[in-house]
Structure 1
Amino acid sequence: MTSWITICDTCKRDGWDATTAPCTDGEALAAKVEALAETNPDIQTRRVSCLMGCGHGCNIAIQAEGKLNYTLGRFDPEEEGAAQAIVDYAALHAQSDTGQVPFRQWPQGVKGHFVTRHPPLPKGS
């Protein structure tokens, strides 16, 4: 089943400066995640303007129908491996029947970035 990576493209980390930055931090992270996810048929990406987690920027959500869904934040788009860890976690989420991925399988780059977990919506809602 396909898992979606929803990326907030309006996220700006502390210190972001519109006069020197060519794009928002969220846009920079989105471009990296999109490029890495492009070859995985089990992962789709989309950008949204604001996940309302400004205190945790940069924010992403990992989602799939009928599965646990997660919001992750506090990513630095310039951090080596951050985008790859997001894509790797989304691939594990896609492979899981419930969306739950055992901690021992989490890529190092997502540890410490989980903000919320949402149960799947009830069927027929």
Structure 2
Amino acid sequence: MTTWITICETCKREGWEESGATETDGARLAEAIEARPVPEGVRLRRHACLMGCGKGCNVAIQAAGKLCYTLGGFEPGAEAAQALLDYAALHAQSDSGQVPYRQWPQGVKGHFVTRHPPLPDT
């Protein structure tokens, strides 16, 4: 079963307008994730606006039949990208999608925003 990392490509962190940047913070995070090797069982996609604007940069980690998570508040870059890929690999390996806290990569701690139960089959 595939675990998807859905990256909000339109996220703008506080101060983005004043920074003079031409690329959104979300797009920068997406590029950082896409530039790294993607673990087995994990796929990437971009999406416009995950509606977590107060916690940009946002991503969703989800798979059919598993707990799904929204994470946010990342600084776009290599460190966040690797932490998200590492966490998604653990999610992919888990039957339920739940990863024990002691296994969480340091870079995702403090970034969880929501957890969603899997959708019912019927």
Q: TM-score of the superposition, structure 2-length normalised?
A: 0.94
Calculate the aligned-residue CA RMSD, in Å. Answer: 1.4
Report the equivalent of 2:48.
Answer: 49
Give the C-alpha shift of residue 2 in structure 1: 1.2
Report the equivalent of 1:115.
Answer: 113
**Could you say if the C-alpha distance between residues 64 and 14 of structure 1 is closer, same or farther in structure 2, counting changes exceeding 3 Å?**
same
The residue matched to 1:27 in structure 2 has which SS? helix
Structure 1 unpaired stretches of 5+: none
Give the C-alpha shift of residue 64 in structure 1: 0.2
Structure 2 unpaired stretches of 5+: none
Partner Cα distance (1:118, 1:30) in 2: 22
Partner Cα distance (2:91, 2:37) in 1: 13
Partner Cα distance (2:76, 2:112) in 1: 16
Report the equivalent of 1:29.
Answer: 29
Deviating above 2 A after TM superposition, structure 1's stretches of 4 or more consecutive aligned residues are 17-20
Q: TM-score of the superposition, structure 1-length normalised?
A: 0.92
Between Structure 1 and Structure 2, how many residues are aligned? 122
Equivalent residue letter for 2:7: I
Percentage of identical aligned residues: 67
Report the equivalent of 2:103.
Answer: 105
Give the C-alpha shift of residue 18 in structure 1: 7.2
